[in-house]
């Protein structure tokens, strides 16, 4: 029997699959690719939130399975955190064409699905990957006053109240940054250490 959480997450998957209202839906059909809903433990203590799927992700229907995903895997391995113990998703569930940043309308259209994923999985920590998800999650949880450049607050822990209890929001650099700025890797490795204490 699927758990209640699994059932609710399936509903989200089905709704996104039929999201014809999205301009990215047409791109998905045209390119014969998939939406990327999220994957991992439905009872995860830690949820990672990226921005939007890239080419590899849309082809496979899985988050962070391309070059940035390799970096994320390395960062998880550095703290001996198995990928299947966390939940990984994005704000936007379809790939924007030409790898452009999602636009405000796209964020607004898909964010309610992320909000529901958060309420279903009820993570104790939301680790944002990159500035877009940092901004969305911090605003959502009333942390807007602390929202400054990611270079100032990466790896810091912010306490917030979710509908289901107290959580920590931790802004992290997007793993893709390490692909063009090798020197950022050391900061990322250091930042990931803070996640260790939230292991189930």
Q: Which of residues 9-38 bind ligand URA (CB under 6 A)?
A: 36
**Number of residues counted as binding ligand URA (CB under 6 A):** 11
Q: Quick one: 90 or 184, whose CB is closer to ligand URA?
A: 90
Q: Closer to ligand URA at the Cβ: 3 or 103?
A: 103
Pairing mode of beta strands 39-40, 87-90: antiparallel
Q: In angstroms, give the least distance from the CB of 28 to ligand URA.
A: 14
Q: Which stretch binds ligand URA (CB under 6 A): 44-52, 75-83, 98-106, 156-164?
A: 44-52
Q: Which is nearer to ligand URA, 131 or 166 (CB)?
A: 131
Q: How far is the CB of 53 from ligand URA (least distance, A)?
A: 5
Distance CA 64, CA 96 (A): 15
Q: Which is nearer to ligand URA, 72 or 143 (CB)?
A: 72
Q: Identify whether the C-beta of residue 188 lies closer than 8 Å to the C-beta of residue 181.
A: no
Rounded-to-integer distance, Cα 101 and Cα 31, Å: 18
CA geometry: angle 23, 29, 34, nearest 5 deg: 95
Q: Which residues between 153 and 192 bind ligand URA (CB under 6 A)?
A: none
DSSP 47: E
For the segment 46-85, give every residue that binds ligand URA (CB under 6 A). Answer: 50-54, 57, 63-64, 68
Nearer to ligand URA, 181 or 200 (CB): 181
Say if CB 167 and CB 123 are below 8 A apart: yes
Question: Per-residue DSSP letters for 169-192?
Answer: EEEE--TTHHHH-TTHHHHHHHHH
- Nearest distance from C-beta of residue 62 to ligand URA, angstroms: 8
Residue 32 DSSP label:
T
Backbone angles phi, psi at 33, to 5 degrees: -120, -175
For ligand URA, the closer of residues 136 and 198 by Cβ is 136
Torsion-angle region of residue 159: left (phi > 0), alpha (psi -120 to 50) or beta?
beta
Binding map of ligand URA across residues 89-128, x = CB under 6 A, - = no contact? -x--------------------------------------
What are the residues binding ligand URA (CB under 6 A)? 36, 50-54, 57, 63-64, 68, 90
């Amino acid at each position: 029997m699927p758990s209640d959480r699994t059932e609710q997450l399936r509903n989200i998957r089905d709704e996104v699959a039929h999201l014809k209202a999205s301009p990215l839906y047409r791109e998905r059909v045209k390119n014969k690719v998939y939406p990327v809903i999220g994957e991992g433990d439905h009872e995860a203590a830690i949820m990672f939130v990226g921005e939007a799927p890239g080419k590899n992700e849309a082809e496979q229907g899985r988050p962070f399975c391309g070059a940035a995903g390799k970096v994320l895997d390395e960062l998880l391995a550095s703290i001996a955190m198995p990928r299947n113990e966390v939940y990984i998703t994005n704000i936007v569930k379809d790939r924007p064409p030409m790898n452009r940043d999602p636009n405000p309308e796209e964020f607004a259209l898909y964010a309610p699905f992320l909000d529901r994923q958060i309420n279903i999985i009820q993570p104790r920590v939301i680790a944002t990957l990159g500035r877009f998800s940092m901004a969305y999650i911090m605003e959502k949880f009333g942390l807007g006053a602390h929202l400054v450049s990611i270079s100032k607050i990466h790896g810091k822990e912010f306490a917030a109240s979710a509908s289901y209890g107290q959580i920590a929001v931790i802004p992290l650099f997007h793993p893709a940054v390490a692909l063009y700025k090798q020197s950022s890797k050391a900061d990322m490795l250091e930042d990931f250490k803070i996640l260790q204490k939230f292991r189930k």
